Amino acid sequence: MNTKKIFNAGLVLVVLVAQGCATTDMDRDLNKKLTQEPTIPNTAVLSKEAQATINDDNQLTPDQKAALTKLHAETTAKLNELREQALQLRNVLLNDFVAENDQEIDVIHDRLKYNYSQRVSVLFGAVAKANKIIGHIPRNRRWVDELMLESHGTRD
């Protein structure tokens, strides 16, 4: 192996280790924040806090507040609809589990996974729309790029 190949291999290793450390630091920072957050008893309380945050922000214009309030209402409604679907699926799962209906359990599994991915997509789609409303352009966020691809129909 020549020196250039060894140097390139070493450089790749350093970059990978650095990325791993950054992720670990980010995870550690997030875990610290989570330990400092109060427990949210239910989604209604979280929704009320989100609306209060919009209402109390003095840097937002009235138009931005109105747009964010509308987005909040639409997002809450969609998340509630998906949550209700998940609860129905879980109820069917409970009954089918007792009846040992294995094939339907597999279908429920797939639908619950899809439901959860839809909830995450709705949530982060709302974050992207909120950023647009307030004029913030997120950078270096993998999910922003994924949403952009989805919205332009270029994602598989």
- Residue range 31-59, pLDDT digits in tens: 888 889 888 888 888 889 999 999 999 99
Four-residue CA torsion sign, 23, 29, 34, 37 = negative
Give the integer Cα–Cα distance in Å for 39 and 50.
Answer: 15
Give the range of the structural domain holding residue 120, as residue numbers without chain letter. 39-151
Give pLDDT, residue 151.
Answer: 56
One domain, residues 130 and 97: yes
54-105 pLDDT, tens digit per residue, is 999 999 999 999 999 999 999 999 999 999 999 999 999 888 777 777 888 8
Res. 4: pLDDT tops 70: no
Write down the mean pLDDT value for the chain: 80
Our CA angle for 53, 57, 63, nearest 5°, is: 105
Give pLDDT, residue 65.
Answer: 94
* Phi, then psi, of 10 in degrees rounded to 5: -65, -40
One domain, residues 32 and 64: no
Q: Specify if 139 maps to a domain.
A: yes
Count of structural domains within the chain: 2
Q: Is 40 exposed, middle or buried (0-12, 13-18, 19+ CB in 10 A)?
A: exposed
One domain, residues 89 and 30: no
